[in-house]
Structure 1
Amino acid sequence: MRKVLTVCVGNYCRSPFAALALAKRGAGELEVRSAGLIGKWEGEPANDSMIEAARRLGLGLTAHRGQQLTREMLGWADSVLAMDASVLQVLREITDDDVQPKLSLYPTDRDVPDPMGKDQEAFNACAVLIEAGTALHVGRPDR
């Protein structure tokens, strides 16, 4: 089973939803975890607006509790998916050569915009983009 780690800034919106969506679509194929670069929301539930966006897509995000990224998580993962280019850049700066090949953007060709501080529609759009992106990572052993 391929191990995938999704990473955003705080593990409060994007990466928890991405992990949930990937786990659902890749059931039996993927083991998925999520983390944030910062620990501000460590132990906290996901953002209420992201929980609502997930609910609208038929996914339950209420069990999520935030985690800060650790070296152990990076070592565990076969793939580390950053939610945007700035997160990817930080990951490149803090990881060793053995982790570098595991790093990529979640949608591969663009950022997943951070909805923090925006309205519910921004969270809904973010969730739809993330959910659509699951197809890029399921059924592909090289990713």
Structure 2
Amino acid sequence: MTRPHAAPRRILVVCLGNYCRSPLAERVLGDLGGSAVEVSSAGLIGSWDRAHPEMTAAAAALGYDLTRHHPARVTRAMIDRADLVLAMDRSVLARLRDIAGPDTTTTLRLYLDHDRDVPDPMGRPAGEFAACARLIEAGARIHLG
């Protein structure tokens, strides 16, 4: 007798533009979580057609491929479909709560524990992207336990 497989946990990761932080978090959680998770990412704003080149390079240095990432804008339907929505910083979390509304049953929280933001490296030197990438990779284990 075979035991049915549990449905993967659906995680949505959101940052401001789905250009730097959330694309990497999506890839890290997906790669490390395997078939136990179904991960997607989105942003509050933005109209880019790929992940930021510096974040793509920082991700590659850690073994993650962002070359096929296509940014998306978050919707209420995306939030409703997820079991867990992870915001990269407090301002994103506040906006997600507004979008989700008071009747949401989806868990919304920060990506990092202890009420810490993942700093946005946008417009910063390459070293900031690398530091951000390492922080995102380290933080992923919080959600995969």
Give the one of 109, 134, 139 matched to 2:140.
134
Partners in 1 of 2:102 and 2:113 — Cα distance?
A: 20
Structure 2 residue matching 1:34: 3-state secondary structure: strand
Give, as a single letter, the amino acid of the residue that structure 1 aligns with 2:135. L
2:15 — aligned with what? 8
Partners in 2 of 1:98 and 1:35 — Cα distance?
A: 21
Give, as a single letter, the amino acid of the residue that structure 1 aligns with 2:67. T
Whether the 8 Å contact between 1:81 and 1:106 is mirrored in structure 2 is yes
Deviation (angstroms), 1:98: 3.5
1:54 — aligned with what? 59
Whether the 8 Å contact between 1:36 and 1:68 is mirrored in structure 2 is yes
C-alpha RMSD of matched pairs (Å): 1.1
Deviation (angstroms), 1:94: 2.0
Partners in 1 of 2:68 and 2:106 — Cα distance?
A: 31
Whether the 8 Å contact between 2:9 and 2:37 is mirrored in structure 1 is yes
In the alignment, does 2:39 pair up with 1:32?
yes
CA shift digits 1:84-132 (9 cap, x unpaired): 0110111112222243651000012200000000011000000000000
| TM-score (structure 2 length as normaliser) | 0.91
Q: Quick check: 92-101 or 45-54, which moved more?
A: 92-101
Give the greater-gyration-radius structure (CA). Answer: 2
Give, as a single letter, the amino acid of the residue that structure 1 aligns with 2:74. L
Superposition map of 1:38-77 within 5 A: 38-41=45-48, 44-77=49-82
In the alignment, does 2:94 pair up with 1:89?
yes
Give the gaps of 5 or more residues in structure 2.
1-7
Give the gaps of 5 or more residues in structure 1.
none
Q: Which runs of 4+ in 1 moved over 3 A?
A: none
Give, as a single letter, the amino acid of the residue that structure 2 aligns with 1:99. T
2:4 — aligned with what? none
Partners in 2 of 1:33 and 1:21 — Cα distance?
A: 11
Identity %: 52
Give the one of 104, 115, 131 matched to 1:125.
131
Deviation (angstroms), 1:79: 0.2
Give, as a single letter, the amino acid of the residue that structure 2 aligns with 1:7. V
| TM-score (structure 1 length as normaliser) | 0.92
